Structures are given as structure tokens and as C-alpha cells.
Structure 1
Amino acid sequence: MAAGGAGQRAGLPKCRAGGTLGTVKVDPRFTRASGVEVYTGNELLVKGCLETEGGTHLWTGYPGSPVSAFFDVAHGLRDLLRERGIRVTMANNEALAAAMVNGSQMHGLRAITVQKSVGVHVASDALALGNLVGAHPEGGAVIVLGDDPWSDSTQVPADSRFLARHLMMPVLEPSDAQELKDWIDLAFKLSRESELYIGYLVSTNQVDGGGSVLVRPNHFPQVNTHNPVVLDTSQIDLERNVLLPPRTWRKEQAMPERVRRLWESARRHGVNRVLPAVGSVNERAGLGFITSAAAYCYLRHALAELGLDGAFPILKLGLTYPLDPRMILDFAQGLKRLIVVEERRPFLEEQVAEIILRAAQEAGPDTPPFAREVWGKRFPHGLKGIPDTRGLNPSKLIDRLGRLFLALPELEGRLDAGRIQAELDLLHRVRRYPVRLPARTPTFCPGCPHRDSASVLIEIKRQFRDPIYMRRVHGMEPVDLVFHGDTGCYTMLMFEPTQELMHNYSGMGLGGGTGAGIDPFIRNKQVVFMGDSTFFHSGQVAISNSLKNGQDITYIILDNKTTAMTGHQTTPGRPEGVLGEETFAQNIDAIVAGLTDRYNTGALVVRVNPAERETYRQLLEKAILQEGVKVIVADKECGITYHRRLAREERRTISERGFLPKKRFINITEETCEYCLECTKATGCPGLTVAETPFGRKMQIDRSWCVSDGACTRFMVPVGGRGLRVKACPAFEEVWVKRCQPPVKPIERLSFSHLPPPPPCEFKGVWRGYLAGVGGMGIGTTAAILVLAGHRQGYTVKFCDKKGLAIRNGGVYSMITYTGDDAPFTSNLIPYGKADLILGVDLLEAVRAIDPNTNQRVGSPDRTAAVVNSHKTPTIRALLGEEDFDVAELEATLRAHTRPGAWFGDVSELSEAFFGTKLYANIVMVGIAYQLGLLPLELSNLEWAIGTGLGSAVADNIEAFRLGRLLVVDPDAVYAAANIHREPATFAAMVKDKVDILRRTHRRGAAWAAGFRQLVEETASRLDLDDATRRDFALRVYDLIQWEGGLELARRYAGWIERVHAQDEPDRGHAATRAVIWNLHKVMAIKDEIFVAHQLTSEEKRRRDRARFNVDPTRGDRLIYRHLNRPQFTLWGRDFAFNIKTRDWMLNFMKRLRMLRRWLPEWHRKEREFRDWYESLLPLFEQRDRRADDYETWLALLRLPEKVSGYRDIRYPKMDAVRAEAAELLARLGCQPPPAPAPAPEPAEIATR
């Protein structure tokens, strides 16, 4: 596994020197009893549980962002936790987890449940009852509430404080990494001392972040799963535990007493504290801040940037509900204004205002003066207050508070107005960067079974709306399918190209219920996607509801045996739990069959492999059209877990034999690809990418992402109006690489023994780095390396990761801050414009670091250096041809808004050349940044961090790091060793290359080569064109020789080019000539089965593939092809088409059968007519009046074939549309259109096999 995939999903890489406890090996960070360590947020929650006084007994919950990795961390500590008898289990849903906590309080046990904010909604009934009953006085109940203030990964705006208030459940909010860990113990103390459940609210930036903390000894429970106790049921307080009226209201009456004990406990433990003001800035203003949670860190950070840290008193609240009135009033004494700083809605502000209002009403003449003004979401003087939607960061507070400070007359002359204005000016500048970027929407991972289902259903939905298809195949009228949304990976159906497969969304397990509300009133057929985790969470109840209500609905349940969306936790369908213990594996089919049999519905329940596309499609069509409830269980492993397992097997083989004897790939022959984009429209797979070739843009397989599951090779395209399905493209193929000895590694051609030390990186007390990339590129791994290296260097480290919604193709970033001992206060976020380094593993996401439409905006030309991989990773919309971005423009934009001397280069290309995958680009870039003197780290610390936790990939990652260093020192040596395959770049090189190929590969090659050279050189000498255009011309002449097997067509082509050139305009750059060079070739080189056979077996393709797959025939390496073709022949007015996997010998025979073009006159007749039609336009250009101002119209006319792509039925409608557009353009030009060829007779039908 390369660097991009080698990091631990749950957090930082494990230290390789494992710590031990008895015979149990664990990550030593979790057994340290003192000193400083560094952890992620979820790791801090786990370490906090371990450090809790008396130990914890039960850890439960349900995975959801941002706290899902809690269970991954626990899984990594499974040996320790099992040995100590700590019960760790994921409940089927959040309500059951809360009920488990309730059960734990029958004895003095300490239990914690972890869920995201919307999971608290699910659990609210059990939490309300449990909290009212109360925590055991010797136990404790902590409810972790994972909030997403920015709404980046949560379907509704998250603010769990309001729900906790409704449940009368206190809320404890830690602020920084130290409190995130330490306050778990504090929460348990508050819980048992007040006998209340404690809501422990953490936010995305905290839990997806982390940092350096002081650690304490672990504690383990005496009562545990190895040492259970016997409950004496006679001692159970039924009045307390069985809570139903009239006991309910009696419990409610006792709540004020429990709250009083809570406040006393909080005071005793110092949960809320005051940071007094220092200096005289605030003497007249009487300003005081009240804040909590991460907002406290952002406030302190903002004040520090403004030069005002310590200038104002701050009441830092840990217990944010219910607020302690005494604490508020004590703080308010002597102040004039209170400003409440909090994320989202005014939860604290409302409580503070109520306390102040009541105190003012009750104030007497002897009451000490206290602040009567409470501000927060609104500021004095009509200024904007703290935002109440989405989240906060230091820069938002700098903006709002800086303006307030300058507007308050009491502060005039008492603060550094110039510094404040400079900060505001910086925010103004970064807000005005002229950046407009396309969104990078997430999508299913390569190999995802959901893509199999989605691709088939896109096709079915289109076909079901085709009257001809429905009448011919199903004997009924068209059907418009309605798709109800649900929660899981399949929620990404909302994004292109699958957006038509999700029409609404009600929440997890509720898609079927949504359908039940509309079902009686519509005739549409309905479909719901569901995952196995959602089925066990709540989906099975929805199926029961559908049966009861007689719905007409099809459930498609993916049984992939993992909770994939949140990081691949276990499910009830697997035989093991979080700690690897044996559990009962439940069967979805059996559960559903039990439901349907019981109701005697006769409902369809079928299990099928969705990768078997045709079988699956036929089953889905039948099921959807059948009446009633249907359940299709799609049985296929998650693509990520499957290919991780496959990668482990490959590493084992390489370890044993030194190489892989055989490996299969999916490949695309670029010359054959028409760039029709049907493959991306059908799959949206990020394993496909776009390549710039001498023939224009083509689809290509990105071998670093592609898992060769073949989804892109199996789809069919419905042809509207004819009820047909056609195979889109013959460019796809399977390639087997076979070896009999280890391949030569290009990296072995380089020497790293004399790398010089880099220039020193000056550390000024604070250093901030920003990493940007796409999910799967190793941003998390890179961040972990820099965090570990900085920690070992002795810095205090703080960091924050933004993880992509999808593991593949979502934008991700990491912010890392190093501080020294005397540094000013910082949060784990980088203020706008204050990154010292942008390390962009992806160019688009690196530029997003300065996009004023985002909440990063970290770059500035005064401070920020940039090291950026200029390789283009297309967005899904770019793959669909709907929007794109220009690499050169993005590079220029980023250079303009970062420090001079930014480094740009195609690191992905080099990574693939040296390591066979782009996934080492991240580590190569760390080497580049280090060698440029941009990382304040010692070499030994960096290499130690790279080697920590990367397992078998350590050696390759160290080489990747050194490769990056060498790329700075001696780039020529690196590129020479990479030996990257390039097409001939000049006219002369192109002619030489093609002459050589013609001579070597054809019986009449010598004559063809001589004729080719003479034709292109003589013609080119008469063309006033640049070298690149002459190269394009020569390549296309060569291609037409290959097409015809002679020179006649090539001469005709060259003649037209000369004639158009003679009438062209030099001051227009001969744009018309360029257009005809490309487009006349496009229509002449008809991609019939004969020419495609040539393209699939050409010398150029073999040469390119050998370089791509590092194949050396002299060492016994071989490439074996299985071309995935669907040839079609027209005989006796009928089209005969069939799927076939062709071998090279078959194609070598086929490409010699050029006589078929004469023998089968109806074969590809439409393409020939289109060629002739385009040629008929060229004399009109010759005859045009050059004085007329109509050049652009002529240019548009001559470029029209560029809009035609695809094969046969995909191509033909585009040809008709182009002809219609040409007629309009000719009318505008005042020209009569050339006579239309006689229409070819429509084949009676397509016979397929």
C-alpha cells in the first residue's frame, strides 16, 4: 500500500515500538502515564475513558461523523480492552445505545455512549427517561454529542445543546485537546455527584483535530466482564427506576435539587473559570466576554492576533447548561457590557440575558453594579454580531470584534488601532481574491457495489420512460420511477451523475416511510436504496411498515458487511464485534423472509450479485414492475475492504516471490476512445480520468484509483425512440501483465547518497502549514507524519482535518500549527492569510485554500509559500463534460496570491513513473518542501515520522521522500531516470517516428513510408503554420494511411488542407486550417471494426502500454489483452451485433479485411455520408468573400464535427444535430447548403447475441 492509503483511519499512525501490558501489545501512547503525547480528537476521547478515575465499564453508541472513529480507536486497542474486561459495543442504533447506558446505571457502572447530533434525536426518548431516573451515585453516564457546526457532513443544522435542554440533560463543553481528554473523567464525576446524565458536546473541528496533551495514568474497573456481580433485585429502588406517572412528576420536582448539586460539583472541580483582564485597555469600556467550547479557543486566538489577549476579562464556561447564575452575576459585577461568543444559535446568550434580566428586576439599592447589556448575535452601534449560522473560526471573530473595538469610543486611544486595522485590511484583501472554482462533489469509490446498482438503475429509469421499449419488452405504457432517499454511502446519489435516483430525504431508515406517504396517491413505481447497517439500524421497521400499508415499493439493500460510510466499522451481519469478539451474524434475507412469511404477502425476496449486470438488470426490471413490496439484497463486498484485502495478498506474494507473476488491469485505448463521456455518465467513477493526447481529450484509466472491477466495461446505453440498448465503446480492454522475474525499479537508477542539507527554515514561535488534496491522496497520512515529526521536534502541535464526504474524490485538508514555549495563544485553525506553507497534493484543492467562498482562505502573498502538484485530477462534473478548470490559470492564480518562488510540478506523474502509482505523491511533496527549507523540522524527525506506523510501505515512503528532495536538487537526473513516455513533440520527430513504424510493420511499409515523408514534408513546406500544427497534420496523414492501407485518402486529405489554407487568414492564426486539419481527419478516419482493430493492436499502443505497465519483453514480461468489443455488421438490411472478448490474433486478422468496406455497402454508411457531407462544405469556404466579416461563423461551421462523438446509435443523433446547425450557419452566411445524401434505409432490427 502506498503512502496515500497507509495511514490509520482512526487517527495518528501507531508507534512501531509497541508498548505492553502483561502479554498484550498496544500503541504505547495509550499506556503512557505521564509526559506529553499527541492524539487525534477521537483518540483523546478514548484516552479520556482510560484515564477516568475508577475506570469505565461500558463504551457504546453508533458511528457517525465526527465521532465514528471512536470505535476504530477502540478496535485498535481491542486486546487491552478485552483483557481489562471493558465492554465496547456498537448498538444497532443510538436509541438502543442510550438504553444500554440506562441499564448500566442499575449498578455503579460508568458508561459512555457516542453518537453524532442527529443520533441524539434518535436516542432522545431513552435519554429523557434515563436522565430523569438519574445516574447511579457510584457510576455515571456520559452522552457524547458530536456536532457539525459547519453542516459539512450533517443533514440538518446541528446544535445539540437545545435538544439537551429539552431533555433536561446538562451539557459539558470542552474547549481544547487537553480538556477533550481530561473532561471525560470530569463528566463522570459531575454525573455521579449530581445523579444526572452529562451531555458531552464536541464539534467537528475538535474531534477531527487534535494536538499535544499531558497524559495521566489509566484506570481500569474492578467490576468488569471477567468479574461480574450479582444484582440483588430486592434492593432495586422501583420508585426510582420504573419511571411512569405519577412517579414522573415527582422526579421532575426533584430536578432543581439535582441541578443545585451539579452547580456545586462544577464549582468544586473548577469547570467554569474567569480569566481576568491584564492592563488598562478595558478600564473605561467595562467589556467582558462569556464563551465556551471551541469558541473560547477562537476568541483567545482572535484577541491574540489583534494584540489584545488578556486585555478583557473572559468567563470560560465548561458547564453550558444549565448556567450557574452565581457564576454569571459574579463575573458581571463591575462590567458594563457582556459579549457572548458562541457557535450557532444564541443558546448561552439567552440564558445569560435571562439571568441578567432577573437580577436587574430583583436588584436593590445595595446591589453591587453589574453589566446590564448582553450582546452576542447583535452588537452595539448597529454592527454585525457573532454569526448564528454555520460555525466560527478566529478570522470571523477578528472581523466582527475588530470592527467593534474600533467603534467603541471608550476604547479609543487605549488599543493599537493600527494593528487592528491591519488585520481587518488583510481579511478584506483575502476576501477579494478573484477566484472562481468548480465544486468537487463526492462520489462512490471505485469498485463500490452501490455504483453497480446506480448504473443499472440509471439505465432502467431511462428505458422505463421510453414508450417503444416498454411496449416491446414489457407490453405496457412508460413508467416514471420515484426514488426515496435514505442515509448511507448511497446518499451520494444526490450528486451527479446519479441525481435522478434520489428525489427526497427524510433520514436514516426512513426512505420507505417517505414512500408510504405518497404511495396511495400516485401510480409511479417506487424504489429505495438501503445499506445493511441502515437495515439493522431502523430500515427493517420501514419494510414492516411497507408490508402493513400494502406499499408498491422495491427495496435494494446492499449487504457489504461493513458500515462503510463512517470508516468500515462492524455490523450485526458480521460474526465479530468492535473488539473482535465472536458475535451472532444476522442474516438480512432471513429477517425479511420472516416478515413477509408472517404476513403471507408473497413478497419477492432475492439475493443477487450486482456485478453480474445483465442478470441484475433483468431482475430489477421484473421486481420493480411487480406489485407490492419487493426486497433485493445486493450481495457484494465493499470495494475498499475488498481491495485492501487484495492489496495485502499482493504484498504477501511480493514478499515471498519478490514480484507479482500476474496482475489484471482495465485499460482504455486512447485512439479508439471518442470522448463521448457515456462511460462517465453511466458510472461517475473517479477511476476514470481525462488525458490530453495528440488527438485531443480522451478518457483514460487512472491506475492509482481504478480497482479493475470492470463497471465501466459492462454498461449499456439506452437509445431513445428505438427501444434499444447499445454498448457504448470498444476502447475498453482487460490487460494481464505477466512477469517471470522482478521488474527493474526506476528508482534504482538514482542515488540519494549526496543530498545536501536544505536552507534553514526560520521558526518564529509559530508555524502553520495547510495540506490540500482529494480523499485517497494521503492528506491524513501526510498530516500525521508532520504532526508526529513536530511533536518529536519539541513543538506544541495543534491540528485540524477536514475529511471528504467520500473517501474518494471529496476535497480534504489539514491545518497544522507548531508553537514554541513563548508563543501567543493559538487555536487549531489557521487564520485567513496566515499559512506559512500550502502543500497542495491536488492543484484545485490547493487553490481552494485562497478561495474567498470557503472558510479556509489561508494564503497570502506576504507570508505563504506554496508547493503544489500541478497534475490535473478532474472533478466528477469535469468527467461529465459539464465544467472544467484550466491548470495554467489555477497555477497563475495561486502564484499571484502566495510568496514568490512557489514550486509547481507534476508530482503524480513522477510518482507513477517511479512507484507504479500516484499515491506516493504526498510523500514526494514532503521531500520537496523539506529540501526547499519550508519545514521547520530536522531530517531525523521527519524520517522517523515517515517510518512510524507505515508497515511494509516504510521503505518505499522513505525513497519517495528522498525522491522529492532530489527533485529540488537535480531535477534533470530525476526526469532522466523516470523515462516517462512522450509522444513526439515536433514535426520532424513525428515524421521520423511514423516513417520508422511504417517501414517495420507493413509488407509495403517502405513505399508507404517514402510516400508519407514526401507528402507531409512537401505539403508542410507550403503551409504557413507553426510546428505544433504541422505535427498534428503529419500525425493525421499517417493515420489515414493506416486507415486505407495506402496513400490515396491521405493525399485527398492533404489537398483539402492546402486549399483551405490558401483561403485562410494569417492574421487569424490560420484557425480555419487548424479546424480542418482536426475535423476532416475526424470524419475521414471512420472508426469501423477494421480501423478499431488496427488501433487496438498498433505499434504506438504497444509502446505506450509497455511504458505504462513497466513491461520489458527482454526480461520475459508479457502483455496479454482481452479487448471488450461489440462488433456490428449490416447484412441484407439487418444489423447483427454481439459481445466478444477479442484476442490480438483476431484483431490482427480483422484489420487486414479492408475489402469488407466494399463488400458491405450498408456497413457504416451513415459515417461515410457524414464524411462526404463535411467535405462538401470545404469548397464553400474556398469561394467565400474574404472581405466579409464572417470568419468566426465559418470557423464554427468547420468545427462542427467536434460535437460528434461516440459510436453508431450514440453518434448518429449528434450527426443529425450538427447538420441542422450547419444549415443555420450557412443561412447566416448566405450560402446554399450542399445537397443532402440519400438517407440510408433504417435496419429492420438489431439482432444481438
Structure 2
Amino acid sequence: MANPLLGDTPGDTHLLLGNEAIVRGAVEAGIQVVTCYPGTPSSEVPDTFYRISPDGKYYFEYSVNEKVALEVAGGATLAGAMSMCTMKHVGVNVAADPLMTLCYVGAPGGLMLLSADDPGCHSSQNEQDNRIYARLGGMPVLEPSSAQEAKDMARDGLLLSKKHGAPLLLRTTTRVNHLRGPVEFGPAPAPGKPEGFKRNPPHFVPIPAFSRPMHVRLMERMEALREEAENSPYNKVTGSGEYGIVCSGISRAYVADALDNAGLADKVTVLELGFSNPLPENKCLDFLKSVDTVLVVEELEPVVENELRVLAQKNGLSIEIKGKDVLPRNGEFDVTMVENAIREGLGESPVPTCECSLPELPGRPPNLCAGCPHRGTYYAARKVFGDDAVYSSDIGCYTLGLLPPLQTADFLLCMGSSISAGGGLAKASGQKVVAFIGDSTFFHSGLTGVANAVFNAHDVLIVILDNRTTAMTGHQPNPGVDKTVIGDNDHPLDIESAVRGLGVTEVRTVNPFNQRKTMAALEELGGMSGVRVLIAKEPCPLYTRRVYKKIAPQVAYVAESCTGRFDCLDKLACPAMYKEGGKAAVNPILCNGCMLCLQVCGHIKAKKRGS
């Protein structure tokens, strides 16, 4: 039986994650090509497309990085295919080069870029607001605030993109991606066959002579889309009162809850902007003329606020517009915060913030999973190099090597930067550098770093942490895996061959749970100069259980001879280990049987699982 997300069952209602609702919306639009690079909070969108792809009528791929993903989707839309490309907000930085040009070239088949922004940095290195990318490139923007809107906007946005031949940005935030809500399905007709590419070099080849008229056509498209925004049901005015509120994205839900809580709905007029770019200037101007004061509620940057200020100034309106002077420019909003900003504008007393008295809870610093092979690599590196090396880290679960006792992340810039930035640091300072990078990140953007390091004769020891999957974002496949959730990978790429093909001559491969060999390889490579590579190869234990259907037959236990020195805990920080009665102990349920601890302390032994 096909997944309900694929069924042509209009009128059915399902409880969906926001990201699942986006998938359904794309299916209703007739999606034909989906590409991605996974990244929280967007990951469930491509993962769902991947899971249901055996029954779907679309092509899906996990691309090696966001730039490639958008280029594949861009080529598909030029062939007339309705296409979607998904990524987290920082991924748009990687994809920015083709994105800016795609806005000129256009999207004949329709092209939606899902940018999942992350106010509050729940799982990201920054809080950037990608509505600014849309203004920079010239893209219409839809911003859902509920699961139903996530579905509807995904559908309508793809159809709108195809109608105008304009790439469109669906801007979500973590709170929208991961909420759950009822979603009423619409029709899901089978997608037709793409029309195919039609040669038209002046429209599709952006040499300077063609780019100049392309830019004019882009501006004309945006003006036509402004008219769509003026009449869009996603932009609506509700309520009455001389105090106005303008809100977009998830902030619309915060405003609705705040007004409901405060009982102030009859005192304010609200303009909701679900279709926020291009700004519906006539609707906004009429709104500004109807109120005395405006509060703009939008997370992160004052994008709409500044556009409204410009609109008011151009039209000679004397109106007070408040926004980032009363609401923060960083982090997520909450209902109480928004309610108090509204109350302040209306001269009402603020509601107290919750000051709950809770018992002090034990600290739970982020930690590598029990049985994670990265722990073995990091432990060996600390044993060999200690503080004599600078550790260049990268994006992935292995960044959790940051904290004591492993302490193997001294700096980090972005995906793939460990090799390039590590080489730069070594060139500038002459210090010993060990650069850690995961297998998925290596294929994402580490290959060019290796090529650059070899070409420029950098002195860097690169450690590729090959756990056979893209672990942090949910075990998605990468070009190096041999198995995936839905079957074998027929074309796995060999990391060692790739590294040697890029000119690295000193390459060693080890199992990081074999500490003797791992330390010996690190000592040997550490004594060399130039670019050299250690591949620490061992599957993620969670992935091993899920995909390989294997579990180690043994677990560790602490012998009676334990002296209570706690070297095992203090050196490894494995979450399967704890203190009990003045001695170390192992939780057999959490233990994955890697036996790393056995190599660290002679008082730890192995026994058959379940005995």
C-alpha cells in the first residue's frame, strides 16, 4: 500500500509534521524532481521523499552538497520539470552562486528552494535570515506558520513558480518544520512528463550581453509577482483598531496566541504577510494609512520593518513604526514576549514571565554516543599529540569532540573548512595541525580542500572519520556508503582512492577501536610533513543496528578488582559508564560492545551480551 502522502485523496485529514506537510504539498503540485543536502531543521523533507520514493512518481537524490543539489534542480527545471531543492539556511551560502544566476535565467518548469532557517541556533552555527537572500537575488518568498500552510504554500509556491518562471523561496523556521498539526489534503494528480529543454541561448546563457536583458526580465517578473502578492490569500488583514501589527512566518502564530491570551483582538488591526516578498505595497500602504502605530513582529532581521519604513517615507506618512526597538533581533520569539510587546504599545501592564522553581538538574553536556568510533579516534589523537597539536574541526556529530576529556576541536568555520583552514593556520604559524572531517563532509566540500592542500604544499594531517553514513542529520546516504535504509548503494566511492587520486601519497586506514594500530598510524603520520591522511573507518553503531542489522555479541563490565580511580570515565566520557558505590560501572543496555574502554583500563572485561 502506497504511503498516504502519495494518495489522491482530497478531503482526507492527517496529523503531519510541518516537514511532512511540505512533502504532501509538493506531491499535490505534481513534483517531478527533488534534490537536497540534508541539514536540520530541513532533513525530514528529503528523508520523507526518500522513504516514499519507491512508490513516488518523481526523481529524488541526495546530492553531495547544496550547490550541486541546486544545480541539478536548476538543470531539471530548464528541462521543464517541476523541481524542489531543500537545505538548511547555511546551505544556501553554499548554493548562493547558482542561486543568484538562476534568478536571472529563470525556472521554466517551476523551482522551489526550501530554506529552513534556525532562529535560536537549535542545531546550527548561526541564525542568518535567508529572506535577505531572496531580496538579493530577486525571489518571491512564502512563509508558512502552520502545518496546513506548509502544505498549501509548498503546492501553491511550486505552481506560482512555474506560472512566472521564477525560482521561489519557501522560508521556514525550526518551529514550523517540527510542529505537528492537522492537514487537509487536496487533489494529487499524477505529474505529467516534463516538456524537455527548448534551446534559447539569450534566455539561458548568462554572458554579459545576455545578462543585462535577463536582469530587466527579472525585475519585470518581480513586479508581476508583486501583483500576485497584492491579491494573495496568504496576505490578509483582520481585526479593527488604531494600533496595527504586521507579522510574517511563525510570528503570525505567536501574535494570534498573544492576542487570544490577552483578550486584545478587538483593539488591534493585524496584517499577516504569508507571501512576504515582493512586498504587497498597496495593501501595506492602505494598512499603514488605517492605523496610528505599527508593531512589526518578525524573527531575526528587521526585513519587513525596514521595507515598511521606506514605504511610509516615500508616501509622506507620519506613523510610528516599532519593531526591533522592542523585540529582539536574535533568538526565537515566544508568546509571552510578543504579548508584552503588544501590551506595551497599548499602554497595558505586562504579564509576568514564568519564573518556575525547579530542582537543580544534573548537567547533560552534549556527548558522542556510546560505541561511537570517533571516541576511539579522538582518544588516540589526544594520547599521541596532546596539546602539542591544533585540532581543526568540521561540521558533524564529531564536533562533539569539543568538550573534555577529548578536546579535539579548537576551531571551526563551516563544512569542509577543517582541511583548508587547518592548512592556512599551519602555513601562518608553523604549528602542527590535525584536521578532522567526516566522510559525508569530505564528499560535500573536503575534496577541494585536499586538492588545495596538495597543490599549495600545506603541512596538515587530515583525519577522515568514516562512519559509513551522514550520522548527525539522520543517517542519510553519501557517495561512500555501501548500504542505505532502502537498499544497497551500487556505486560507492572509495575515500582512499579519492585521496590518492588527488595526489596524497601517505594514506593509512585503521579501525579506531584498535587503539594500538590507530596510535601507531598517528605517530607515523605525525612524524611526517606535507599532506597526509588517516582514514578512521568503522560504522556508526546506530547505523549498524538500523541498516546492517548487526549488534556486537559482547558488552563491557567492570571487574571486582576496580580501584575506583575512574580513568575509564575521566578519559573516555562514554555515556554507558557511570559511578556506583565508589567504583565504575557499565550500563549493559547502553553499551554497544566497542571494547574501547577495555583497552584503556585493565579492570574492564568483556562478557556475552545478555549474560
Is the TM value for this pair above 0.5? yes
Q: Which residue of 2 aligns with 1:803?
A: none
Q: 2:448 aligns with which of 507, 521, 541?
A: 541
After superposing the two structures, state which structure 1 stretch, 516-525 or 237-246, moved more.
516-525
8 Å CA contact 2:42, 2:177 repeated in 1: yes
Q: 1:79 to 1:520 in 2, by over 3 A?
A: closer
Equivalent of residue 324 in structure 2, options 373, 377, 400: 377
State the one-letter code of the partner of 1:496. Answer: P
Judging changes above 3 Å, is the alpha-carbon distance between structure 1 residues 101 and 161 closer, same or farther for their aligned structure 2 residues? same
Task: Say whether residues 1:664 and 2:554 are aligned partners.
Answer: yes
Describe the shift of the 1:482–1:583 C-alpha distance in structure 2 as closer, same or farther (beyond 3 A): same
- Asked if 1:698 is matched to 2:583, the reply is yes
Distance (Å, rounded) in 1 between the aligned partners of 2:424 and 2:148? 48
Task: Name the structure 2 match of 1:126.
Answer: 98
Which residue identity is paired with 1:49?
Answer: A
Q: Distance in 2 between matches of 1:619 and 1:450?
A: 16
Do the aligned partners of residues 628 and 571 (structure 1) sit closer, same or farther apart at CA in structure 2, a change above 3 Å counting?
Answer: same
- CA deviation string 1:7-40 (max 9, x = no partner): xxxxxxxxxxxxx3xxxx4357856432221011
Q: Distance in 2 between matches of 1:637 and 1:528?
A: 20
Q: Give runs of aligned pairs for residues 979-990 of structure 1, distance below 5 A.
A: none
- Is 1:316 the counterpart of 2:240? The answer is no
Which has more radius of gyration? 1
Corresponding residue for 1:447? 371
List aligned pairs for 1:970-1049, cutoff 5 A.
none
Q: Could you say what secondary structure the match of 1:606 adopts?
A: strand
Q: Quote the Cα distance in structure 2 between the aligned partners of 1:306 and 1:230.
A: 55
Give 3-state SS (helix, strand or coil) of 1:146's partner. strand
SS at 1:66 equivalent: coil
Quick check: 2:259–2:339 contact (8 Å CA) kept in 1?
Answer: yes
User: 1:105 aligns to what SS in structure 2?
Assistant: helix
- Distance in 1 of aligned mates of 2:282 and 2:5: 43
What is the deviation of 1:575? Answer: 5.0
SS in 1 for 2:502: helix
Q: CA deviation at 1:511?
A: 0.9
Deviation digits for residues 131-186 of structure 1 (CA, Å, limit 9, x no counterpart): 111121xx211000011001121112221112222222222111111001111111
Answer whether contact 1:117 1:158 (CA < 8 A) is retained. Answer: yes
2:87–2:115: 8 Å Cα contact kept in structure 1? yes
Matching residue within 386, 389, 397 for 1:489: 397
- CA deviation string 1:290-321 (max 9, x = no partner): 00110000111111111123541111101222
- Residues 582-629 of structure 1: CA deviation (Å, up to 9, x unaligned): 542111111111111xxxx6x301222111110111011111121111
Q: What is the CA distance between 1:521 and its match in structure 2?
A: 3.3
In structure 1, what is the Cα distance between the partners aligned to 2:392 and 2:550? Answer: 39
Aligned residue pair count: 611
- 1-side partners of 2:576 and 2:358: how far apart? 31
Corresponding residue for 1:564? 471
Task: Provide closer, same or farther for how the CA distance between residues 533 and 375 of structure 1 changes in structure 2, counting only shifts above 3 A.
Answer: same
- Find the counterpart in structure 2 of residue 843 from structure 1: none
1:108 shift after superposition = 2.2
Alpha-carbon distance change, 400 to 434 in structure 1, aligned in 2, over 3 angstroms = farther
Preserved CA contact (<8 Å) 1:333 1:371: no
Contact 1:606 1:631 in 2 (8 A): yes
Alpha-carbon distance, 1:230 to partner: 5.7
Cα distance, 1:267 vs structure 2: 3.6
Aligned to 2:337: 396
Structure 1 residue identity aligned to 2:98: A
CA contact (8 A) 1:274 1:313 kept: yes
Query: In 1, Cα distance between the equivalents of 2:41 and 2:531?
Result: 35
- Equivalent-residue separation in structure 2 for 1:713 and 1:582 (angstroms): 34
Q: Following the alignment from structure 1 to structure 2, what is the Cα–Cα distance between the partners of residues 30 and 730? A: 59
Q: Tell me the CA shift for residue 572 of structure 1.
A: 0.8
SS at match of 1:706: coil
Please identify which structure carries the higher helix content: 1
Distance 1:610 1:121 in 2: 33
Q: 2:138·2:222 contact (CA, 8 Å) conserved in 1? A: no
Letter in 1 for 2:494: N
- 1:545-589 residue CA offsets vs partner (Å, 9 max, x unmatched): 111111111111122221111000011113577865854211111
CA contact (8 A) 2:566 2:583 kept: no
Amino acid aligned to 2:320: E
Q: 1:99 aligns with which of 66, 71, 80?
A: 71
Matched, 1:262 2:225: yes
Alpha-carbon separation, structure 2, partners of 1:557 and 1:563 = 13
Q: Do the aligned partners of residues 177 and 371 (structure 1) sit closer, same or farther apart at CA in structure 2, a change above 3 Å counting?
A: farther
Contact 1:89 1:578 in 2 (8 A): no
Structure 2 residue 42 is the aligned partner of structure 1 residue 153: no
- 2:585 is aligned with 1:734: no
SS of the counterpart of 1:400?
helix
Q: Which residue is 1:43 aligned to?
A: 20
C-alpha distance in 2 between matches for 1:31 and 1:439: 49
CA contact (8 A) 1:62 1:114 kept: yes
Q: Would the alpha carbon gap of residues 236 and 663 (structure 1) be closer, same or farther in structure 2, given more than 3 Å must change?
A: closer
Separation in 1 of the partners of 2:461 and 2:446?
A: 13
- Asked if 1:682 is matched to 2:574, the reply is no
Distance in 2 between residues matched to 1:448 and 1:103, nearest whole Å: 39
Cα distance between partner residues in 2 of 1:577 and 1:39 = 25
Q: TM-score, normalization: structure 1?
A: 0.47
| Contact in 1 for aligned 2:459/2:531 (Cα 8 Å) | yes
Deviations 1:403-449 (A, max 9, x none): 33335xxxxxxxxxxxx66xx13x2xx23747655542211111111
The aligned residue for residue 294 of structure 2 is 338
1:274-285 equivalent positions in 2, closer than 5 A: 274-277=237-240, 282=241
| 1:636 has 2:538 as partner | yes
Conserved in 2, the CA contact under 8 Å of 1:288 and 1:312? yes
2:144 is matched by which residue type in structure 1?
A: P
**Any residues of structure 2 matched to 1:48-87 within 5 Å, and which?**
48-52=25-29, 55-81=30-56, 84=57, 86-87=58-59
Is the contact made by 2:249 and 2:274 (CA closer than 8 Å) also made in structure 1?
yes
1:709 equivalent among 594, 597, 601: 594
State the AA in 1 paired with 2:26: C
Cα offset for 1:389?
0.9
Q: Is the 8 A contact 1:71 1:578 kept in 2?
A: no
- State the alpha-carbon separation in 2 of the partners of residues 688 and 141 from structure 1: 50
The structure with more strand, counted as a fraction of residues:
2
**3-state secondary structure, aligned to 1:126:** helix
Alignment correspondent of 2:61: 89
- Give, as a single letter, the amino acid of the residue that structure 1 aligns with 2:539: E
8 Å CA contact retained: 1:194, 1:265: no
CA–CA distance in structure 1, aligned partners of residues 5 and 110 of structure 2: 28
Letter in 2 for 1:114: T
Change (3 A) 1:75 1:254: closer
CA contact (8 A) 2:419 2:453 kept: yes
Q: How far did residue 116 of structure 1 move?
A: 0.4
Measured in 2, the distance between the counterparts of 1:300 and 1:538 equals 43
Match of 1:1051 in 2: none
Residue 526 of structure 1 and its aligned partner are, at CA, apart by: 1.1
**Other structure's SS at 1:201 match:** strand
Q: 2:420 aligns with which of 506, 513, 525?
A: 513
Distance 1:242 1:663 in 2: 59
* Partner Cα separation in structure 2 for residue 263 and residue 28 of structure 1: 32
Unaligned runs of 5+ in 2: none
- The code of the aligned residue for 2:322 comes to W
Distance in 2 (alpha carbons) for counterparts of 1:91 and 1:118: 16
Q: Could you tell me which of 137, 150, 171 is aligned with 2:141? A: 171
1:442-841 to structure 2, matched below 5 A, reads: 442-462=366-386, 480-499=388-407, 501-575=408-482, 580=487, 583-596=490-503, 603-644=505-546, 648=549, 663-669=553-559, 671-691=560-580, 693=581, 697-715=582-600, 729-736=601-608
The separation in 2 between residues aligned to 1:119 and 1:74, in whole angstroms, is 19
Q: Letter of the 2:43 partner, please give it.
A: S
Structure 2: distance between partners of 1:394 and 1:332: 24
